[in-house]
Amino acid sequence: MKTNVNILMIDDSQELINQVKEYFKGHAVLNMKYDATDGMNAMRIIKEREKDIDLILMDVLIPEKDGIEILSEMQELNIKKKVIIVSSYKKEYTVKMASKFDVDYYMLKPFSLESLEKRILEVATGEIPESEIDQQENQNVQMAISKLLHSLGVPSHIKGYQYIRESIYMMYTSKEMLGGITKEIYPEIAIRFDTTASRVERAIRHAIEVSWSRGDYELMEEIFGHSVDYDRAKPTNSEFIATLADRLKLDNTLVLS
């Protein structure tokens, strides 16, 4: 890792910028060197100081040019930087748009400065410990998964519930599992529950079908979009698990209201 990581923070709140800068003042590694409260000024700094900026910390809702416009312009100019989005905005469309530009992390406001420091260091080193989370975070993740599945109407007494719960957790904690539902997750779940991969797949499918008839419709629409229309196909097992894992990743603080 570089001795110093120079950061550009883009946020429409100068007060928040000042709080973050004060927290990192004198930090051994992280240097909050540049800041901007609007997109036009941010792009000017990015162009002028491209070689000196290592990481960009930005909101998506900023005046003049929003975060998506900045990411798009950076792509057009072939400016590649590590990017962490820190925003209170978590609409599915915006998150998907941001993901197209290979954003390194999407963190929700409000956040603790200690958590922000941890995420920046992880992204800056390129060594995010995907499968190593502390005990408290582990408990929060498990609680968040359970709450989400209950809201979606997945009965906790059926086998598919436990299989989905384990699958989401595995995908949440390890990038290596992405895209590996059939080849990696099903066999692993089968071993843990002393069954077969095909039975795991069928049980998960059954649980999804049950949830489709009894879940929170507004929440389902928010998470899955138009796929909740009953005239359309339900999400596949892979889509269901990956979408819920992604949703949990949006809020790394996992505030359980």
Q: Is-contact 212 234, C-beta < 8 A?
A: yes
Same domain, 76 and 114: yes
Looking at residue 92, what is its pLDDT?
A: 59
Quick check: is 257 in a domain?
A: no
157: CB partners within 8 A, 6+ apart: none
More confident residue, 179 or 74: 74
Q: d(Cα 187, Cα 201) in Å, to the nearest integer?
A: 10
User: What's the domain range around 156?
Assistant: 135-250
Q: Within this chain, do residues 113 and 20 fall inside the same structural domain, yes or no?
A: yes
**pLDDT of 88 strictly over 80:** no
Boundary-marking domain end, from 74, 106, 125: 125
Of 63, 97, 125, which residue sits at a domain end? 125
Structure tokens at 91: 């609409």
pLDDT digits (tens, 9 = 90+) for 184-198: 788 888 877 888 888
CATH number at residue 87: 3.40.50.2300
| pLDDT tens, residue by residue, 106-127 | 887 777 888 888 889 888 876 5
- Count the domains in the chain: 2
Which residue's entry shows tokens 């929003």? 66
Q: Ramachandran region of residue 213, left (φ > 0), alpha (ψ -120 to 50) or beta?
A: alpha
- Does 256 map to a domain? no
Cα-flanking dihedrals φ and ψ of residue 27, to 5°?
Answer: -60, 145
Boundary residue ending a domain (125, 155, 178): 125
The type of residue at 209 is E
Residues 91 and 198 in one domain: no
Per the document, the length of the chain is 257
Residues 28 and 88 both lie in one domain: yes
**pLDDT-based confidence at residue 249 (cuts at 50, 70, 90):** confident
Q: What are phi and psi of 101, to 5 degrees?
A: -100, 20
Whole-number Cα distances in Å, 76 to 25, 42, 46, 66, 100: 33, 16, 13, 16, 13
